[in-house]
Copies of this chain bind each other. A is one copy, B any other.
Amino acid sequence: MYQLGIVKRHIVRADRAAVERLAGFGVATVHEAMGRVGLMKPYMRPIYAGAHLAGTAVTVLLQPGDNWMMHVAAEQLQPGDVVVAACTTDNTDGFFGDLLATSFRARGAVGLVIDGGCRDVKDLTEMKFPVFSRIVSAKGTVKATLGSVNIPIVCAGALVNPGDVVVADDDGIVIVPAAMAAQVAEAAAAREANEADKRARLAAGVLGLDMYKMREPLEKAGLKYVD
């Protein structure tokens, strides 16, 4: 249950070194390293091709058609943070544009993930300020109703606690709990080391059927080859 009208000032951010290690992996690799969990829903898209980010979450709960809390969140930002914003109902208004991006960047933020609308796409693209949003919409908002900052939120189907690691790229967005950041980075590195070799063998024409030893389990499952 969301608590409204709250700003939590002190949050425990994931270890900086772990965030930096995670920044080196793709979202697909990170979520695999966690056991195929932690992803936001795939309706979330980057506002420009190639946008990517990694940082620690400052969370925002918005009210529909109202971006008041984005301004409250700005003050809580530290270098390396990513703003992660959810709304109390599905809403596509343009809660965020180039002015807020300027402010967020001045505070050290490295991007935004918002389960709502974003606008000023041209300016944001020129600024290279990465935003992942539900939709693009020019629709402006009011500043009239309280939400909260730095409470746990559900954003695009994922639970995000303030301080968690957010990694986003063309493939989507993954949330790594702060306490597990180092361990997940480790697992991701192991996974990636493994992939280079696999890629080389597949490129040489080796079949996954053989490389992953699938022929026997497929036969056991009842697969039949016919002409």
Contact = CB atoms under 8 A, between A and B. Distances in A.
Contacts of A157: 154, 157
Contacts of A97: 28
29 contacts: A1-B37, A1-B159, A4-B35, A4-B36, A5-B222, A6-B223, A10-B227, A37-B88, A39-B138, A42-B138, A48-B49, A63-B65, A63-B142, A64-B65, A71-B207, A71-B208, A74-B209, A89-B92, A102-B202, A102-B203, A106-B202, A106-B203, A120-B171, A136-B171, A139-B172, A142-B145, A143-B212, A152-B159, A157-B157
A187 interface: no
Given A9-B225, A202-B99, A227-B10, A50 B122 contact: yes
Interface string A150-174: 0010100111000000000111101
Question: For the side of the interface on A, what is the size category?
Answer: 35 or more
The number of times this chain is found in the oligomer is 6
